[in-house]
Structures are given as C-alpha cells and as structure tokens.
Amino acid sequence: MQSDSPESPELDLDLILGDPGIRTMVCCGAGGVGKTTTAAALALRAAEKHGRSTVVLTIDPARRLAQSLGLTELDNTPRRVAGAAGDLSAMMLDMKRTFDDVVLAHTDPKRAEEIFANPFYQAMSSTFSGTQEYMAMEKLGQLRARDAWDLIIVDTPPSRSALDFLDAPARLGRFLDGRMLRMLLAPARAGGRSVFTLVSASFSVVGRAVTKVLGTQLLADLSGFVAALDSMFGGFRARAEQTYRVLQDRETAFLLVATPEPDAVREAAYFAGRLANDNMPLAGLVLNRMTTVSAPAISAAAARAAAEELTSPIADLLRVHATLAEQAERQAAEAARFKLEHPHVPVATAATQAADIHDLDGLRRIGDELC
C-alpha cells in the first residue's frame, strides 16, 4: 500500500519491551548496521526498566557484546551480567558446539563419536554455508524450551543479506534431507556393499559424475556422515519448522535495524515485505547512526555561502557544518523513502555515537535514546 505522506508511526520500544506477551525479539538487518549494540541495549533496558528476566543471544564474532556488558568472555551458555540492575544474561552462539549438542541429544554416545570424527561433519559444523543461521534457530528453540526467561533477544548473524536468517535454515534442512544424501545413504542399507560399486551399478553415469566431481575420499566421508546421521535427518527439518512457527506467533517481535544508507534501507524494505508475506510480526525499524547537526536552522547551502565570505576559522566550521547538513539531508531522504514504501511500519532513530559503546552506561544511553 502506498501513501502520499512519508510519515510513519513512532516506534514505542518501551511498550514492546514491557509487554509480557512478547517473549522473543529478533533484531535483523544486513551486516554492520549495529544489530549487536541495539540488541544489547534493549536487553539491558528490558531487565532494568521493565523488570523482565532477559537473555540476549549474539552471533557477533568480534565479542563487542561481552565487552560492553562487562564480561571477560561469552560462550554457548548464558552468563549473568553482574553489573546490570536486573535479571540479565548473555551468551554468544558457538555453532559447532550447538551442532555437537544436537548430535549428543538425538543419538547414542557411540554413534556421536563416529559423527564427530567424520571429516565432512567437522567441516560442515564449522564452515558450511547456512550452518550458523540454522544453529541460531536451534539455539533459539533450546532457549524457548527451557522457559527460564521472560524475554529472549536474538542478534542475528552478520550475513551479507538479512534474509539469510530466514532462508539458510530451510536450505540446510533441505540439504540434510535431500535426495542426493538419501542416494548416498542407500548403500549403507544394502548389505554393506561398497558405496562406489552400488552407486555406479545403480546410477552409472550419475554415480561416476558424482565421484569425479567430489572425489573418492570426500564421497566416502559424505556417505559415512549420512549413514551416521540417518536417525536424525527428520529431526533437523522438524525442529527448523517448529522454530519457524515460533517466529510467526504473536509472542515474537521482529525489529529491523538499518543505517540510513541506500543499500541498508533497501535491504530493510525488502525484509519488511518478506516478513509480511511470511506472516511474521514486524514491530518496527530502527534507523541507526543518524547524522545530527547542532544548528539545524542553517542549511548546507547557507553555510557554504557564508564560508566563502570569511577567511577565519569560522569558515572551516561552516564548511564542516555544511558537510554534515548535506549528509543529514541525504539520510532523511532515505528514511522518507522507506516510510513511503511502508507507511504502517513504526520507526525509531538513534544518532551516530561519538565513540564506540564499551560499557553498560553506553548501552543505557542507547536504550534511552531509542525508547
């Protein structure tokens, strides 16, 4: 739906954070837009201002969240934030550890050891495309199942595209449950005959092509991996679908985070449309790192004109003001474009910070500004 006005409703984040009916908040956006800081600031505010038992899950390898929360490190287990005036825990996703935990929970110890020793599993659990997003879904499902917190805030992976968080788990689930892996599993169920003998006999050209492309050793590792995980394949897809349904219910609030730059705003607009198509509840958009000027009444053009008439240091200040004012105008235009395309999506803004956020007081300032 289009609107002639770029005005959008104001995003009331305190209303969302204090709502006991909201149990999960998912901060989404392209990489590098400030999702981690936003997630941490909102988690801290939920715990301190609204008295909610909160856990924040980050997938930030730079460990900025741990530093800002006053923790020496974060790992795959929630840790209490001692400096918070409320019940706040934090953790950082370890995708290999999460994958290992899934294996241990759904197979016997002997089979688990076989899986852990398989080279294909070792590569897949650490670097395979989509594994991080899938394991973020797994960890969210585990946290919800524990029912130990009023609110779970998820900082999604720093992907090139925000949509990877929604799409990658389904892609990985299809891979783990796909025809190719079932084909490779068939020899293990055929009386122990060689995978290459049976594949070549059954599929001839296809089997030889697969062997040629993948290589004998990799195909053997893959076949062993598939055979070891046979009892778990249905579970991967079932759990992904279950968590997907959690994301669609009204106990979840998606929060888009973007910077006021063309690519980031375009990504946010596309993601907003995708959430609507998938019936997922979008709470609103945070436009992060907005440029502010100390004298907004002085336009960029007026500042540049005045600077031409002066030779004092004031002229340099006017030129700096003009540059910032032009940047603010460009950012305002990007914000207006999003509001025009999505007039019913509430919007909040946060100004560019003078320095990186590195402690709880910095997170509190961000929370105050957003709310």
Tell me the two tokens of residue 352. Answer: 């560019």
Note the pLDDT of residue 233: 62
On whether residue 79 sits in a domain, the answer given is yes
Burial class (CB in 10 A: 0-12, 13-18, 19+), 289: middle
**In total, how many domains does the chain have?**
1
Domain membership of residue 253 as a residue range: 13-370
Residue 352 forms part of a structural domain: yes
Residue 86 in any domain: the answer is yes
- Candidates 234, 137, 131; CA nearest to 181 is 234
Residue 59 lies in a domain: yes
Interval 300-330: pLDDT, tens: 889 888 888 887 788 888 989 999 999 999 9
Higher model confidence: residue 260 or residue 239? 260
pLDDT at 227: 66
The pLDDT assigned to 281 comes to 94
Mean pLDDT computed over 149-157: 92
| CA gap 159, 204 in Å, rounded | 39
Specify if 7 maps to a domain: no
Strands 151-155 and 24-28: parallel
Q: Is residue 1 part of a domain?
A: no
Mean pLDDT calculated for residue range 36-60: 93
| pLDDT-derived band at 16, boundaries 50, 70, 90 | very high
The Cα–Cα gap between 150 and 52 comes to 6
pLDDT of residue 45: 97
- Please report whether residue 170 resides in a domain: yes
Q: Is residue 92 pLDDT above 50, yes or no?
A: yes
Q: What is the CATH number of the domain that holds 186?
A: 3.40.50.300
Tell me what pLDDT residue 354 has: 75
In a domain, 8, yes or no: no
